[in-house]
């Protein structure tokens, strides 16, 4: 059974007088709060750096014979730097309007004079805890709104024999919390499988956070994954929630996992092993409960042999592996997928196409699909845009047969030429991004960035 105390609001008491601490402890314990206490400025900072609190109730004076409140005012600045969402209530026996105004200016949420009224103090504490929780929830939701918008992609469409093992694995391991590695060529639908695994799991009501590891540069990796605190670096103007925190109690999908810089892999391994991490610029250890799904079109065994990927990290990611066959090996699914994409793009472009002409369906079935399901989606989208009749014709799809002459690069726009060369490289190397990037003279991350741009 879960420990109910773990969900109690936690209060940090700070005062250099033992009798004040005990009086406050007695009052708050009776109201069900978890309580920590300290008698020094250093103790406050140490406690906040190690643990999350819902409110701080602190005196403004700590040195003997000091009544100016200067220590407490300086401490408020330091607390704001550590956690700008943490509510702080200040107390002093030497109150004045000027001191109260200055304390509020430095971040205090309320000001209480000693001796205090128990009922009023209890009310202030409850109010500030609720406001602090609302502020933190708002910060989290703002980050979620930026990262967790649905992308409108389909559920898994698969009736072919070669896809049945994939469906069976989703059914068997989806409800479990095991980490899953999803492998397959570029464009085969690894993200759709990840969404399916999350959808049948006990975490389906919580976030599914997707991160394209090929799109994160080494310099911002820690900030993106673990978050940062205000002032951690020049452009860190506010606290930021990282992807692991956003996925807490839910699922984190790490797409193109082979692109994680080797220098950052140990940090990822630690959070996978312990669930613990620190935001950039903070020494406070945070814990999350996250199921990790990952995907790659690279051969990770070869990456390990060449020293680009840690074997112990692969063991953590690969409790179970699901391999998705390329579209050319599941041709029975092509008409079903094409019908789905036709409906999607009919709606998107406000068209009313009834289907595909016979020659168009034949072309779809016999094409090699080096870009797999993603390329099929793009071909159907083009067909919807180009169709002049009630059905999509073969020529509307823009598919090239092996007998057709290749287009002349000098007749193309720069962007079209670049896309053409990338498509051909992927086709030659059967969708292997690493090999295609090498052939094109690009880094793997540079090729991923171009692929992302072409998908938009």
- Total length of the chain: 456
Other C-beta atoms lying within 10 Å of the C-beta of residue 60:
29
Report which secondary-structure segment, H or E, holds 395: helix 394-397
Residue with tokens 């330091």: 78
Q: What Å distances lie between residue 133 and 3, 218, 283, 425, CA to CA?
A: 21, 33, 22, 52
CA distance 196 to 327: 18
CA distance 44 to 13: 8
Q: What Å distances lie between residue 449 and 212, 452, 456, CA to CA?
A: 10, 5, 11
Report which secondary-structure segment, H or E, holds 439: helix 433-440
Report yes or no: 452 and 212 within 8 Å, Cβ to Cβ: yes
| Averaged confidence pLDDT in the chain | 84
Average pLDDT over residues 402-415: 57
Least confident of 12-26, 43-57, 420-434: 420-434
Helix, strand or coil, per DSSP, at residue 100? helix
CA distance 88 to 107: 7
By the 10 Å C-beta count (0-12 exposed, 13-18 middle, 19+ buried), 316 is classed as: middle
pTM over 0.75: no
pLDDT in tens, 170-225: 999 999 889 999 999 989 999 999 999 998 999 988 889 999 888 787 788 888 89
pLDDT in tens, 92-148: 877 677 888 888 888 888 888 888 989 999 999 988 988 888 777 766 665 555 444
Class of domain 165-325: alpha beta
CA distance 57 to 89: 5
Task: Find how far residue 413's CA is from the centre of its chain.
Answer: 36
Report which secondary-structure segment, H or E, holds 73: helix 70-82
pLDDT on residue 154: 44
pLDDT on residue 169: 93
Q: Where are the alpha helices (DSSP H) in 200-261?
A: 221-226, 243-246
pLDDT in tens, 29-82: 888 899 999 988 889 988 887 788 899 999 888 765 566 678 888 889 888 877
Of 20, 7, 27, the C-alpha closest to 58 is 20
Q: Where in the chain is the domain with CATH 3.40.50.2300?
A: 4-145
CA distance 232 to 238: 9
- With a cut of 70, say whether residue 1 has pLDDT above it: no
Tokens for 232, please give them.
């951690």
The set of residues, in sequence order, having a beta carbon less than 8 Å from that of 199 and lying 6+ positions away, is 155, 174
Task: Find how far residue 29's CA is from the centre of its chain.
Answer: 37
pLDDT on residue 66: 60
Task: Find how far residue 292's CA is from the centre of its chain.
Answer: 11
HSE (side-chain half, CA atoms, 13 Å) at 39: 9
Helix, strand or coil, per DSSP, at residue 211? strand
Kindly state the DSSP code that residue 64 receives in the 8-state scheme: T
Q: Where in the chain is the domain with CATH 1.10.10?
A: 408-456
Query: Is omega for the bond preceding 117 within 30 degrees of 0, making it cis?
Result: no
Q: Which CATH number fits domain 4-145: 3.30.450.20, 3.40.50.2300, 3.90.78.10, 3.40.50.11810?
A: 3.40.50.2300
Class of domain 408-456: mainly alpha
Q: Where in the chain is the domain with CATH 1.10.8.60?
A: 328-404
CA distance 210 to 154: 16
CATH domain 328-404 topology = Helicase, Ruva Protein; domain 3 (1.10.8)
**Maximum separation of any 2 CA atoms in the chain, in Å:** 94
Kindly state the DSSP code that residue 257 receives in the 8-state scheme: G
- With a cut of 80, say whether residue 454 has pLDDT above it: no
């Amino acid at each position: 059974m879960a420990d109910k105390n773990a969900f109690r609001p936690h209060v940090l008491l700070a005062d250099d007088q033992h009798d004040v601490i005990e009086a406050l402890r007695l009052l708050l314990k009776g109201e069900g709060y978890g309580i920590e206490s300290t008698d020094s400025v250093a103790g406050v900072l140490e406690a906040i750096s190690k643990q999350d609190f819902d409110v701080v109730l602190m005196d403004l004076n700590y040195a003997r014979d000091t009544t100016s409140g200067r220590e407490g005012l300086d401490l408020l600045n330091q607390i704001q730097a550590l956690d700008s969402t943490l509510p702080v209530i200040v107390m002093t026996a030497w109150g004045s309007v000027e001191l109260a105004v200055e304390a509020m200016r430095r971040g205090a949420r309320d000001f209480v004079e000693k001796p205090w009224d128990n009922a009023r103090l209890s009310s202030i504490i409850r109010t500030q805890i609720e406001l602090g929780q609302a502020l933190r929830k708002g910060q989290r939701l703002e980050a979620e709104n930026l990262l967790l918008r649905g992308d409108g992609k389909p559920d898994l469409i698969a009736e072919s024999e070669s896809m049945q093992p994939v469906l069976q694995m989703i059914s068997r391991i989806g409800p479990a919390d095991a980490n899953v590695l999803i492998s397959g060529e570029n464009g085969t639908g690894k993200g759709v499988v990840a969404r399916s695994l999350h959808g049948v799991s006990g975490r389906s009501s919580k976030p599914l956070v997707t991160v394209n590891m090929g799109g994160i540069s080494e310099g911002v990796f820690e900030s993106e994954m673990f978050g940062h605190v205000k002032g951690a670096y020049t452009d860190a103007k506010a606290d930021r929630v990282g992807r692991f925190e956003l996925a807490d109690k839910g699922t984190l999908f790490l797409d193109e996992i082979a692109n994680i810089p080797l220098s950052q892999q140990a940090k990822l391994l630690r959070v996978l092993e312990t669930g613990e991490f620190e935001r950039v610029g903070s020494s406070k250890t945070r814990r999350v409960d996250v199921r990790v799904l990952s995907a790659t079109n690279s051969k990770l065994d070869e990456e390990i042999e060449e020293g680009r990927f840690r074997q112990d990290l692969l063991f953590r990611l690969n409790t179970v592996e699901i391999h998705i066959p390329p579209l050319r090996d599941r041709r029975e699914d092509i008409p079903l997928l094409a019908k789905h994409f036709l409906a999607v793009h009919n709606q998107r472009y406000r068209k009313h196409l009834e289907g595909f002409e016979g020659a168009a369906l034949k072309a779809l079935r016999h094409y090699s699909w080096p870009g797999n399901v993603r390329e099929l989606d793009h071909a159907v989208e083009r067909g919807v845009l180009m169709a002049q009749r009630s059905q999509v014709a073969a020529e509307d799809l823009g598919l090239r047969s092996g007998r057709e002459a290749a287009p002349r690069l000098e007749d193309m726009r720069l962007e079209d030429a670049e896309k053409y060369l990338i498509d051909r490289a992927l086709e030659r190397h059967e969708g292997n991004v690493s090999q295609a990037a090498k052939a094109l003279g690009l880094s793997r991350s540079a090729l991923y960035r171009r692929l992302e741009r072409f998908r938009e």
